[in-house]
Amino acid sequence: SPSSLLVEKRILITAGPTREAIDPVRYISNHSSGKMGIALADKAAARGAQVTLVLGPTNLRPSHPSVRVIPVISALEMYEASEEAHPTCDVAVFTAAVADYRPAKPSVEKIKKKETNLSVSLVKNPDIARTLGEKKTSKQIHVGFALETDEGSGSAEHKLVSKNFDFIVLNSLIDPEAGFQKDTNQVTFFSTTEKSEKTPVLKKEELASIILDKVEMLLGAKPKV
C-alpha cells in the first residue's frame, strides 16, 4: 500500500540453500527450496520496497517484477553478494539455509570410486548474518531465522543475541507443517523487548506479511533523520 513504511526502503533478503562442491559432479547442501525468502521478497516489493534477493540454487523465482534477484551457488558467493548489498540496505532478512561448512579443497577431477572409505575434510564457511550483524548501524534492522530439530527456544535466543538480530523467527522440524519446502510454516518470534509468541500454522505468504508488519513497527520507532 502507498502508506507503507517500506515504500522506497531497500531490503536485502537471503534465501534458499547453498551448494558446496566436493568435486565437479557432487556437492553438500540442504533441503531449502527458497519459498520462505521468495514470499518475503514478493510481499515486500508489493509494499513498495526495493528488494534485493540473494538466492541460492532453486528453480523457484519471485513473481513481483521489481525484485532484483542475484543468483548464487555457494555460501562464499552468497556472502560476497550480501556484503555488497548490505551497506545501503535499510532492512536485511536472513532466510537462507547457509551451509556452515564446505569441503576444504574441492577436487578438480571427479573423485574415482575406490575399495576403501572416503573422508572429506570440511572447513567453516563465513556466517553471513553474524558478520553483517557486526557492521549493522543503528538505522538498519536485521531479521534472522533459526531452524532447529528440537523445541529450539534456547538456540533461537542465543542466535538472536550473538548475530545482533532485532528479532528472530524460529521454525522447528518437530512441527509437521513447518520448515523446508512446505507452503506453510509455524514459527515463534523472539526479540529482546517482547515476550515470545508462537503462531498458528500459516501460509508462507501470510507469515511474510506478519514479519513485514513487525519490520514496519520497528522502522516506525526509529528516529527520523
By C-beta, is 48 or 106 nearer to ligand PMT?
106
Per the listing, cell 545501503 goes with 88
Handedness of CA 211, 196, 220, 145 (dihedral sign): negative
* Closest separation in Å from C-beta 168 to ligand PMT: 7
CA torsion through residues 208, 209, 215, 218, sign = negative
**Of these, 5, 6, 36, 212, which contacts ligand PMT (CB under 6 A)?**
36
* Closest C-alpha among 148, 149, 202 to residue 170: 148
Instruction: For residue 69, give the H/E element and its range.
Output: strand 68-71
Residues 42-81, interacting with ligand PMT (CB under 6 A): 75
121 touches 111 (CB < 8 A): no
Q: What is the per-residue binding string for ligand PMT in 179-208, x denoting contact by CB under 6 A?
A: xxx---------------------------
Instruction: Using CB under 6 A, pick the residue from 9, 35, 43, 86 that binds ligand PMT.
Output: 35
Identify whether 30 is a catalytic site residue. Answer: yes
Minimum CB distance to ligand PMT smaller for 48 or for 126: 126
Residue with cell 562442491: 21
Grid cell in block for residue 212: 513485514
Q: How far apart are CA 76 and CA 60, in angstroms?
A: 21
Among 5, 22, 32, 47, contact with ligand PMT (rule: CB under 6 A) = 32
Size of the site for ligand PMT (CB under 6 A): 28
Residue 50 DSSP code: E
Q: Give residue 34's identity as a one-letter amino acid code.
A: G
Taking CB under 6 A as the rule, which mask of x and - marks residues 90-129 in contact with ligand PMT? Answer: ----xxxxx-x------------------------x-xxx
Residues making contact with ligand PMT (CB under 6 A): 14, 16, 32-36, 75, 94-98, 100, 125, 127-129, 144-147, 159, 163, 171, 179-181
Q: Which are the catalytic amino acids?
A: 30
